[in-house]
A and B are shown apart, each in its own frame.
Chain A
Amino acid sequence: MSAGLVFEGRDLRFRYEGTERSALDGVRLEVNSGDLYAVIGPNGSGKSTLLKLLLGTLQPTGGSVDYSGQRVDEWSRRALAQRIGVVPQGEETVFPITVREMVGMGRYPHLGLLGRPGAEDREAIEEALRRCDVTEFAERPISKLSGGERQRVLIARALAQRPTTLVLDEPTVSLDIRHEMEIFELLAELADADGVTVVLVTHHLNLAARYAERLLLLDRGIPAAEGPPAEVLTKETIERVYEWSVVVRGHPGPGRDEGAPQITPLSR
Chain B
Amino acid sequence: MIARTPLRLLLLAIIAAAVLLLSIAVGAANLPLASVFDALMGGGDDTTRTIVLDLRLPRAIVALLVGGALGLAGAVFQALLRNPLAEPWVLGVSGGAAVGAVAAVVLGWGLHAAWSIPLAALLGALLAIGLVLRIATHAARGLDTRILILAGLVVAAFFNAIIQLLLTFASGETFRSAVFWMMGSLAAASWSSVIVLSAYLIPGIIVLLLMARPLNLLAVGEETALYLGTRVERVKLAAYLVASLLVAATVAVSGIIGFVGLIVPHAIRLMWGSDHRLLLPASVLLGGGFLLAADTAARTVAAPAELPLGVITALVGVPLFVVLLTRRAV
Residues of B within 8 A of A82 (CB): 229
Which residue in B224, B226, B231, B274 is a CB contact (below 8 Å) of A91?
B224
Residue ID in chain B nearest A57 by CB atoms: B226
Residues in A71-127 with C-beta less than 8 Å from chain B: 77-82, 84-86, 88, 91-98, 101-102, 105-106, 108-109, 111, 113-114, 117
Which residue in B213, B214, B220, B229 is a CB contact (below 8 Å) of A81?
B229
Residue ID in chain B nearest A93 by CB atoms: B220
**In the complex, how many angstroms separate the beta carbon of A98 from the nearest chain B beta carbon?**
7
Residue ID in chain A nearest B231 by CB atoms: A77
Q: Answer whether A92 and B221 are a contact pair too, CB < 8 Å, given A108-B213, A113-B210.
A: yes
Which residue in B223, B229, B275 is a CB contact (below 8 Å) of A78?
B229
Residues of B within 8 A of A117 (CB): 2
Residues of A within 8 A of B43 (CB): none
B228 at the interface (CB under 8 A from A): yes
Residues in A161-179 with C-beta less than 8 Å from chain B: 161
Residues in B1-59 with C-beta less than 8 Å from chain A: 2
Residues of B within 8 A of A92 (CB): 221
B142 at the interface (CB under 8 A from A): no
Residues of A within 8 A of B82 (CB): 94
Most chain B beta carbons < 10 A, residue from A79, A82, A97, A102: A97
Pairwise interchain contact A105-B220, C-beta atoms closer than 8 A = yes
Which residue in B213, B219, B223 is a CB contact (below 8 Å) of A57?
B223
A55 at the interface (CB under 8 A from B): yes
Residues of B within 8 A of A86 (CB): 224, 227
B84 at the interface (CB under 8 A from A): yes
Q: Answer whether A77 and B275 are a contact pair too, CB < 8 Å, given A94-B82, A105-B216, A113-B213.
A: no
Residue ID in chain A nearest B273 by CB atoms: A96
Residues of B within 8 A of A114 (CB): 210
Residues of B within 8 A of A88 (CB): 221, 223-224, 227
Residues of A within 8 A of B164 (CB): none
Which residue in B83, B221, B270, B275 is a CB contact (below 8 Å) of A101?
B275
**In the complex, how many angstroms separate the beta carbon of A136 from the nearest chain B beta carbon?**
17
Most chain A beta carbons < 10 A, residue from B2, B210, B217, B227: B227
Per-residue CB contact flags for chain B residues 225-240 toward chain A (1 = under 8 Å, else 0) read 0111111000000000
Q: Answer whether A55 and B273 are a contact pair too, CB < 8 Å, given A108-B217, A111-B213, A113-B213.
A: no
Pairwise interchain contact A94-B83, C-beta atoms closer than 8 A = yes
Docked Cα-Cα span, A161 to B84, in Å, equals: 28
Q: Which 9 A-B pairs rank lowest in CB-CB distance, beginning with the nearest?
A: A81-B229, A109-B229, A78-B229, A86-B227, A95-B274, A97-B274, A77-B229, A94-B82, A108-B228
Chain A residues proximal to chain B, CB less than 8 Å: 55, 57, 77-82, 84-86, 88, 91-98, 101-102, 105-106, 108-109, 111, 113-114, 117, 161
Additional 10 contacts, C-beta under 8 A, given A91-B224, A109-B228? A55-B227, A77-B230, A84-B227, A91-B220, A91-B223, A93-B219, A95-B78, A95-B219, A105-B217, A113-B210
